[in-house]
Structure 1
Amino acid sequence: MRRLGELEAEIMDRLWRWQRAATVREIVDDINRTRPLAYTTVLTVADVLYRKGWLIRGKSGRAWTYEPARSREDYTASLMRDALGRTSDRPAALLRFVEHMSPEDVGSLDAALRSLGRQAPDEGTAAGDGPRA
């Protein structure tokens, strides 16, 4: 998966934060609080994101509205899978990643694995075995 461009990410960030459909005018007005940007530029990039499958487009009167087709978490997970897929030694890459995680992130990873019914081998299961009863 290709990382979103700067303006693509800026548009997606707003829509993820707002958690609702928005018009290009709303997005432009919000961006223009920090820097000037033309309406047509945002319209073009929103259309590109729609064609790439990142946005859902609908009509509200005469204006198009846009909302995310995927969550921020889906995007982040896709980037992580892509990065992991670029190495020939996945276990080593995962180890390096986990070594640099905060204790809070390690706890979150452990909770995520448990919610999927998985445990790390040193947590009471042998590799390939299911969780112990």
Structure 2
Amino acid sequence: MADDEAGRRRARGELESEVMAALWAAGEPLTPAGVQTALGDGLAYNTVQTILTRLLEKDLVRRGPADSGRGHAYWPAQDAASLAATRMRAALDERPDRRAVLQQFAAGLGEDDAETLRALLAEREP
């Protein structure tokens, strides 16, 4: 695992999240060197390439030829909101008592989020 500038070790998945954030922020495909520059914290090129390969294997990014014709460029397979929703559904699907999970989730929402969720659910009703 890579160290950040403060000397602490990154949490599991943190570097992948940082790479995804850089790709979403770019709004266009990035080469590994472009991701490395966007992260700006001295990560080795090989580290960035490894993370991009892992994200590709997890179907979180897509890859195509770079504009330069050499190497590859990467872009997110989904926008950030869609990915978060997919992960939320997966977490829900992993538990046998969906009602209990939803109840705990709803209980932890702040009033603004709860109101947003109520409004979204009301939009679904025929």
- What TM-score do you get using the length of structure 2 for normalisation? 0.77
The C-alpha deviation readout for 1:52-72, integer Å capped at 9, x for no partner, is: 221111221124211001121
Displacement of 1:113: 1.8
Query: Which of 37, 44, 52 in structure 1 is aligned with 2:50?
Result: 44
How many residue pairs align between the two structures?
113
Unmatched 5+ stretches in structure 1: 119-130
Q: Quickly say closer, same or farther: Cα 1:22–1:97, change in 2 above 3 A.
A: same
Give the match for residue 18 of structure 2: 10
Unmatched 5+ stretches in structure 2: 1-11
- What TM-score do you get using the length of structure 1 for normalisation? 0.73
Q: Distance in 2 between matches of 1:112 and 1:41?
A: 41
User: Partner of 1:36: helix, strand, or coil?
Assistant: coil
Equivalence map 1:52-131=2 (5 Å): 52-59=58-65, 60-61=67-68, 62-115=70-123, 117-118=124-125, 131=126
Q: Distance in 2 between matches of 1:89 and 1:47?
A: 35
Q: Distance in 2 between matches of 1:84 and 1:51?
A: 23
Query: Which of 7, 15, 36 in structure 2 is aligned with 1:28?
Result: 36
Maintained 8 Å contact 2:24/2:76: yes
Identity of aligned residues (%): 34
Amino acid at match of 1:58: G
| RMSD, aligned α-carbons | 1.9
Displacement of 1:11: 0.6
